[in-house]
Structure formats: C-alpha cells, structure tokens
C-alpha cells in the first residue's frame, strides 16, 4: 500500500490519475560539471565572461554577476539551471546569461518541473545523505545523475512547472517591492539628517528652516537606574535588527537567574541599549514597560526629545562610528559604552516638531517594510507547502 501511495502526489491537477514513475535525474536532464578557471584570469570587467562559482553568485534563485573571467572552461547557457555542488550543497537557481562554471556548481538543462523538483530536494534535505561524516560537504556528477526522482507524464510536468513559475514570479515581485522600500528608507536616512558637518539636512519638511542645534546626548537623556526589586515585569531583550522586543519572542535560552530584582526597569518611550553592542546598532525605543539586564543602559528622554527620531539617528553609520570610538575596552569583544562615555557625545538635533515628523515618516516606512516582509514570508511558506504536496 505504501509503495502505491508513494507514486501519487497529495495534491494534483484535475484529469491526471496515472502513477508517477521513478527515474534517474541523469535520464531526464543533461548535466555539466563546473571547472574553475585559473585565478589570474579573474576580472572585474563586465565585458568578460560571467563566472559562477557557488551560492555567493546567486540571489533569490537567480545568478547575480559578481566576478568575471577571460578563461572559458565549462559553460552554461542562458536559462540553464545552476546547482551548488559544494557547501551549501543543493542550492538551485537559474541563469539569465551565458556563464562560465566554477567547480562549486553544475549546470543542468531541464524544464521548469525539474527546476522545482530540485528545489523540493533541497527543501527536504535530499543531498545531506552524501555529506554525512564528511569534513567537506560536496556532491559529484554520479551523485547528481543517479539521484532518484519521481516524474509524471509530460503534460502534467508542464502544468506543475507553469503553476510554480507563476508563483515564483509573484514572489519575485514582492521581493523587488521590498527591496525598493528598503532603498527608499536608506535614501531618506541619507537625506533627512545633516551630514559632513552641515547644520541642516538635504531633505526637509515645509515650514522648517532653522539650523539644527548641536547638543550633548547627556543633555537629551538622563540615565534611568530604577530596579525591578520585588515587582513582576516583562523581560525585554535588545536586538540589532528589531530593537527592543519581549525576550520570550526570541529563540534563545534564558540562562539568567530567576531573581530579577537587580534588573533595570524600562518604561514605554525610553531608549535602551546593549552597552557592549551599541556600536553595532543594538538599541531601540521600548513600546512597553518591562525590565532589561543590568548590563544594559536605559535612557530617559527629556520633554523636548522624540525617541522615535533618536532611534533612527542612533542607527546612522556616523553615529555607530562615534559609539565605537567612545567605547572602552582593548578589543571589539570588550568594547563597552556606559552612560559616562555616552553622555558627552555630540549630535545635531532639530526642534521637537521636526523630530516628530521625521520619526513618523521613517516609522511608516518601517511598518510598510514589515508588512511586505510578512506577505513575502507567507508566499514562501505557501510555496514550501505546495512543493511538499504536489511532488512525490
């Protein structure tokens, strides 16, 4: 019964009832293993041949030109499939160009069904069997040619391939939209804050003309040192990418003591930062009351300070460089920015109303980025589900 079930996918297009047949990948597609050119022939000249060496040369399932070569060894043609044969083994993409293949990849001439089949094999960990116990994860031409796959009749292959191609196109559109939103945010960050000693930003809201005032961070924030004592408070963590988040939302093991009485209190609207990683951007505005590790620094804003605006200011490269410069410690592992070193740092600051407008527009962009990221992740999860159910 199990053998019979293994010949049929869970989800199928109407009109197809025949069992799928087991074949070797080498019977269904043509394979070309890569061979690296001599390194002295590598160039940065886009007029030379594009060289694909491994996963680093692919992004979102497409070859992205990064390195070129004047020496042609093994070639792949436009629309060929590119399979990573060295760690990470099994990553699959397509090329929109004629390319030279390095030894970290192989080219496969196969239809859209084969492309999606290879994607499913990566998803289910098919290739890991060849690297078990090996110090260097890789697969060879025989591994690929002898790989067993289940295939339906040609017409069903075409329908499945077309379905996934359309889904991939939708995913690509969302990826591009997300990338454009992130570029837009970076553009605003570059133009809405003064740079290179200027007293005003390049881009400004109507109605604001005054020069930004230079102030010490110690005049903008005081240090909050209130302790949890015996109260019950939500444990918070500080991350580089997401700022302040509930500790239980992170996939981390809590190795701290059950006694949190010495932990620092954080109030909604405060800024808190990881004293040892402030130079990497580990700071954020708290959207809730809670507590953080006593190793962190908690900042209470003055009445003329919009912490949302400041949170974006703190992520700018010149600010991160300033935090690094003022951190104490012999190596990056021990750099530490306590309030004493933080407070003398000077920043340029506009009036509160302008702070609030800048903070609001950047927050709206972040919300749009987050919403599009969620849509993209849902589509990617949807595709994973279909790969599991529409292939044998």
Supply φ then ψ for residue 40, to 5 degrees: -70, -10
β 42-43/221-223 pair status: unpaired
Q: How confident is the model at residue 1 (pLDDT cuts 50, 70, 90)?
A: very low
Over residues 166-176, mean pLDDT: 97
Least confident interval from 200-214, 222-236, 242-256 = 242-256
pLDDT at 268 over 60: yes
CA-to-CA separations, 173 to 136, 169, 274, 372, in angstroms, rounded? 36, 6, 36, 11
Long-range pairs for 341-347: beta carbons < 8 A, 24 or more residues apart: 342/217, 342/218, 342/278, 342/297, 343/216, 343/217, 343/218, 343/221, 343/223, 344/216, 344/217, 344/218, 345/216, 345/217, 346/214, 346/215, 346/216, 346/217, 347/214, 347/215, 347/217, 347/220, 347/313, 347/319
pLDDT digits (tens, 9 = 90+) for 289-304: 999 999 999 999 999 9
Query: Please, are residues 67 and 40 in contact by the beta-carbon 8 Å criterion?
Result: no
Taken in order of first residue, the domains within the chain and their CATH numbers are 21-151 (3.90.220.20), 153-205+350-392 (1.10.287.1120), 213-349 (3.90.220.20)
- What pLDDT is recorded for position 14? 97
* Unique residue bearing structure tokens 């959207």: 287
Q: How confident is the model at residue 90 (pLDDT cuts 50, 70, 90)?
A: very high
- What pLDDT is recorded for position 145? 97
- What pLDDT is recorded for position 250? 87
Nearest-CA neighbor of 236 among 195, 275, 294?
294
Least confident interval from 9-13, 181-185, 228-232, 374-378 = 228-232
- What pLDDT is recorded for position 135? 61
pLDDT at 248 over 70: yes
For residues 198-221, one letter each, b for 16 or more C-beta atoms within 10 angstroms of the residue's C-beta and e for the rest, the string is: eeebeeeeeeeeeebeebebbebb
Q: What is the CA radius of gyration of the chain?
A: 27
Specify the pTM: 0.87
Nearest-CA neighbor of 342 among 208, 223, 164?
223
- What pLDDT is recorded for position 129? 81
Supply φ then ψ for residue 228, to 5 degrees: -70, -30
């Amino acid at each position: 019964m199990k053998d019979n079930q293994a010949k049929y996918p869970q989800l199928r297009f109407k009109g197809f009832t025949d069992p799928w047949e087991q074949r070797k990948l080498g019977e269904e597609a043509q394979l070309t293993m890569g061979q690296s050119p001599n390194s002295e022939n590598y160039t940065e000249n886009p007029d030379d041949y594009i060289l694909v060496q491994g996963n680093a040369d692919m992004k979102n399932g497409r070859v992205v030109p990064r390195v070129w070569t004047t020496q042609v060894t093994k070639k792949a043609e436009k629309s060929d499939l590119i399979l990573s044969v060295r760690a990470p083994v099994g990553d699959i993409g397509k090329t929109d160009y004629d390319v030279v293949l390095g030894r970290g990849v192989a080219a496969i001439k196969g239809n859209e069904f084969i492309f999606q089949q290879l994607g499913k094999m990566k998803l289910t960990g098919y290739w890991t069997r060849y690297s078990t116990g090996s110090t260097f994860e890789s697969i060879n031409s025989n591994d690929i040619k002898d790989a067993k796959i289940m295939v339906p009749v040609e017409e069903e292959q075409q329908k499945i391939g077309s379905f996934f191609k359309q889904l991939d196109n939708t995913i690509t559109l969302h990826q591009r939209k997300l990338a454009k939103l992130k570029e837009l945010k970076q553009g605003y960050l570059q133009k809405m804050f003064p740079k290179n000693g200027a007293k005003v930003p390049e881009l400004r809201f109507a109605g604001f003309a005054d020069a930004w005032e230079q102030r010490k961070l110690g005049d903008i924030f005081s240090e909050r040192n209130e302790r949890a004592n015996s109260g019950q408070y939500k444990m918070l963590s500080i991350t580089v990418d997401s700022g302040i988040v509930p500790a239980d939302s992170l996939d981390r093991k809590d190795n701290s003591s059950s006694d949190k009485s010495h932990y620092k209190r954080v109030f909604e609207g405060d800024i808190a930062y990881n004293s040892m990683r402030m130079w990497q951007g580990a700071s954020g505005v708290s959207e809730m009351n809670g507590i953080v590790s006593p190793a962190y620094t908690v900042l209470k804003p003055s009445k003329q300070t919009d912490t949302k605006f400041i949170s974006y200011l703190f992520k700018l490269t010149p600010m991160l460089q300033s935090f690094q410069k003022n951190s104490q410690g012999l190596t990056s592992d021990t750099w530490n920015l306590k309030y004493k070193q933080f407070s003398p740092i000077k920043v340029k600051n506009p009036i509160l109303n302008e702070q609030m407008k800048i903070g609001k527009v950047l927050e709206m962009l972040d919300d749009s980025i987050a919403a599009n990221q969620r849509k993209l992740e849902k589509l990617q999860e949807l595709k994973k589900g279909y790969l599991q159910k529409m292939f044998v």
